[in-house]
Amino acid sequence: MDQKILKQVSQEENFPESKVAKAINLIKEAGNTVPFVARYRKNETGNLSEDELRSIVERWDYLVNLQDRKAEIIATLEKREKLTPELKEAIQKSETMQELEELYKPYKQKKKTRGMKAKEKGLEPLANKLRQGELKTEAEAESTASDFIDDEQGVNSTDEALQGAQDIIAEQISETVDNRRDVKEIAAPETYLETQLKDQAQDENKVYQDYYDYRENLKKMPLHRAMAINRGEKEGVLKVSLSSPEERIIDKVALRELVSLENAGFSRELVFEAVKDACKRLIIPSIQRELRTSKTEQAEEHAIKIFSQNLERLLMQPPIKGKNVMGIDPAYKSGCKIAVVDYKGDMQEVDVIYPTPPFNKTEQAAKKVISLLNKYQVEIIAIGNGTASRETEEFVSETIEDVELSLEVQYAIVSEDGASVYSASKLAAEEFPELDVQERSAISIARRVIDPLAELVKIDPKSIGVGQYQHDVPQSKLKEAVQFVVEKVVNQVGVDVNTASVHLLRYISGLNKKSAENMVNTRSELGGFDSRAQLTEVKGLGAKTFEQCAGFLRILDGSNPLDKTAIHPESYHIAEGIIAHLNEVPENIGSEALRTGVDSLLNNKNQIQSLCQEFDTDKYTLEDILTGLKKPLYDPREEFDKPRLKKDVMKLEDLSEGMILEGEIRNVVDFGAFVDLGIKEDGLIHISNLSEKFVKHPMEIVSVGDVVQVEIVSIDKDRGRIGLKKV
């Protein structure tokens, strides 16, 4: 293990070297997954979380790759006899890939530059004479330059010879490490990004109006603004330029380059011109590219972080268990598709109604809805929030209010982001080959209420509207971040191995699509798994994979009661010993009597210590086992706010400033949080209205799915905008 990298990761991540070393050994060398290590190897890592483990591993990988790239560049430059002690030192001190590549850029094999062409014409000796101050007068320079005139080489005059010599000098100056460092020191805090309107035709809705004539310090620019400008430039709306303190930079570089040419006369003049050319044409643009690239990378990393955090909270939305649900995919001309699913998510019936314009067949639609509600004992109606959602909500509200139903029915407005993507996918076609796209979408909307996680994992996360500029970031990095979030949530929640889909199982620790498919096939052959031990019968599932996945796969009605808990099979002997210690039997796991016994142990430190010694285990493992015995079916999603259920509808016209309402956080971005108030338009709590105290980022206060009390502070009916303040 590289001790230098170990020390750096330890310092940057603020964890002891011993913890970092353990994490790297467990994940990089022993081949364990992050969810497995976070859950079942707490004692070895000191209870590092999934996010902490991932951060350590990512930083480790980056520094290892950076070190390898440095060695590769140094070897290449040595082979080409281009490596100076100063350049080698600068390469070794590089802290980022971007900084390293900018250092190496002048030495890469590339198209011929002006300086390279001048060297090929034999002008390097003339350049050396100028840099050494040998040509003190213009006459001397002209005379010496005339010796380099060569029609065959394309040097037709003394002016061309001297210009070629200056081109060589300019490139030499630009490749000097100290010059680049000086330029960066000046440019980094004082470079400004400027934007101008390039083509208004590309911005019909004036999305980028704020940037038609804009200037801001690049270093101080908020990250979300950098992303907005990048998008505007990419779409052809904005023209972007950078400006740095050019004169100060030239003076700084000239101070070094001209120090030995104080009395060199004409040589000094020509070298000074080369300094200006080197700064304006080569060094400043290069440093500006580096600074802007660095800003963009920071902004992209931040955008991915925001998206990941929002996605995690969305996936952690609590399920509404034990209720049959009707899903409605609203529409106008094509009608509203409806689907009834039972409490397990199995489709019962699909149909179509036409309560919205242009048909307005509300009576006929109401009869059909009421019939289905009573027939299937539906208690919740899930309405998609897309086109015609408002009209459909009004229809549903009036329908369930005007008639007596066998059960009390409420409705919820459900985000249908990604539902159309899923319903048109190969997966949906395989699941419901006999249904059309809209009918599948209605089923997906209904299932999002019953078990959001199981349904949302089927959808490309980029299609779920809970981020900021996720379409503008490197998709490979976004994919990695999304994969981590989904795996983290799925494994924290755990899955019922006898009902989970391939799409859900493939996110379980140690599994992939192929092993998940094999697991489902074996499940079908066995008629369901009776115990975790039977998982070893799955084709291709070896001892290591079993170790990684077993604790996250639950068997709710199997022969071994421990199989429904999060306790890992490797610790069953400890769990059985504790049950015996409490004079209980495994069948009583989760019972009131056993919970009382477990609580008495958890509240007694001496007992915990004694049991750790008796069963040769650690405190973390023991406490997790006790929690598993106490709450065998624990679901972390239950700790979050459930979706808001309603019976009546509200419109923008019903709102007034000063009203206090309850809403649900739909999306969190850098400048605030969007809130679903139960009407068509979402309200915005600006970051300044989230708290009386200073808030660095909205996520310090709210998360996706939170139910909050808000006060209406402004209403713009023409633009459909509602300003809110968190109460």
Residue 204 identity: E
- Report the CATH number of the 3-107 domain: 1.10.10.650
The reply to whether domains 150-306 and 490-638 share a CATH topology is: no
Measured between its terminal Cα atoms, the distance across the chain in Å is 52
| pTM (predicted TM-score) | 0.84
Distances (CA, A) of 505 to 327, 520, 541, 646: 25, 9, 13, 33
pLDDT higher at 533 or 705: 533
pLDDT of residue 652: 77
pLDDT, tens digit, 9 for 90 and up, residues 258-268:
999 988 999 99
* DSSP letter, residue 26: I
In sequence order, the 6+-apart residues with CB closer than 8 A to the CB of 14 are none
Architecture of domain 150-306: Orthogonal Bundle (1.10)
Whole-number Å distance between alpha carbons of 478 and 460: 11
In sequence order, the 6+-apart residues with CB closer than 8 A to the CB of 676 are 385, 413, 644, 663, 664, 665, 666, 682
Phi, psi of 599 (to 5 degrees): -60, -40
Architecture of domain 490-638: Orthogonal Bundle (1.10)
Distances (CA, A) of 107 to 70, 81, 110, 181: 14, 11, 8, 17
pLDDT of residue 663: 87
Taking domain 652-726, whether its CATH number is 2.40.50.140 is answered by: yes
**Mode of pairing for the β-strands spanning 213-217 and 192-197:** antiparallel
In sequence order, the 6+-apart residues with CB closer than 8 A to the CB of 259 are none
Residue 618 identity: D
Hey, what are 61's tokens? 């990988």
Q: Which range has the worst mean pLDDT, 38-42, 135-139, 246-250, 647-651?
A: 647-651
pLDDT band at 664 (very low <50, low <70, confident <90, very high): confident
Residue 347, beta-bridge partner list: 341
In terms of phi and psi (left: phi > 0; alpha: psi -120 to 50; beta: otherwise), the region of 566 is alpha
Q: How many CA atoms lie within 13 A of 407 on its CB side?
A: 17
Residue 674, beta-bridge partner list: 667, 684
pLDDT of residue 465: 67
What is the chain's length? 727
pLDDT band at 549 (very low <50, low <70, confident <90, very high): very high
- Percent of the chain surpassing pLDDT 90: 76
Whole-number Å distance between alpha carbons of 397 and 645: 12
Average pLDDT (26-42) is 96
Whole-number Å distance between alpha carbons of 219 and 189: 6
pLDDT band at 649 (very low <50, low <70, confident <90, very high): low
pLDDT band at 648 (very low <50, low <70, confident <90, very high): low
Whole-number Å distance between alpha carbons of 663 and 675: 6
Whole-number Å distance between alpha carbons of 345 and 368: 21
The answer, yes or no, to whether residue 375 has pLDDT greater than 70, is yes
Residue 205, beta-bridge partner list: none
The answer, yes or no, to whether residue 109 has pLDDT greater than 70, is no
Whole-number Å distance between alpha carbons of 646 and 492: 30
> CB of 704 within 8 A of CB of 453?
no
Q: Which range has the worst mean pLDDT, 157-166, 425-434, 593-602?
A: 425-434
Whole-number Å distance between alpha carbons of 447 and 274: 69
Q: Which range has the worst mean pLDDT, 103-107, 219-223, 227-231, 666-670?
A: 103-107
- 206: number of Cβ within 10 Å: 10
The answer, yes or no, to whether residue 244 has pLDDT greater than 90, is yes
pLDDT of residue 645: 77
Q: What is the CA radius of gyration of the chain?
A: 33
The answer, yes or no, to whether residue 646 has pLDDT greater than 80, is no
> CB of 264 within 8 A of CB of 275?
no
pLDDT of residue 647: 67
Phi, psi of 724 (to 5 degrees): -125, 160
Average pLDDT (338-360) is 95
Whole-number Å distance between alpha carbons of 377 and 407: 7
Distances (CA, A) of 28 to 1, 10, 59, 61, 709: 11, 16, 12, 9, 46
| Four-way CATH pick for 324-466: 3.30.910.20, 3.40.50.150, 3.40.630.10, 3.30.420.140 | 3.30.420.140
> CB of 271 within 8 A of CB of 257?
yes
Residue 340, beta-bridge partner list: 326, 349
Average pLDDT (136-146) is 94
Q: Average per-residue pLDDT in the chain?
A: 92
Domain ranges in the chain? 3-107, 150-306, 324-466, 490-638, 652-726
pLDDT higher at 418 or 230: 230
The answer, yes or no, to whether residue 395 has pLDDT greater than 90, is yes
Average pLDDT (618-631) is 95
Helix (H, G, I), strand (E, B) or coil at 216: strand
The answer, yes or no, to whether residue 14 has pLDDT greater than 90, is yes
pLDDT, tens digit, 9 for 90 and up, residues 170-206:
999 998 999 999 999 999 999 999 999 998 888 888 8
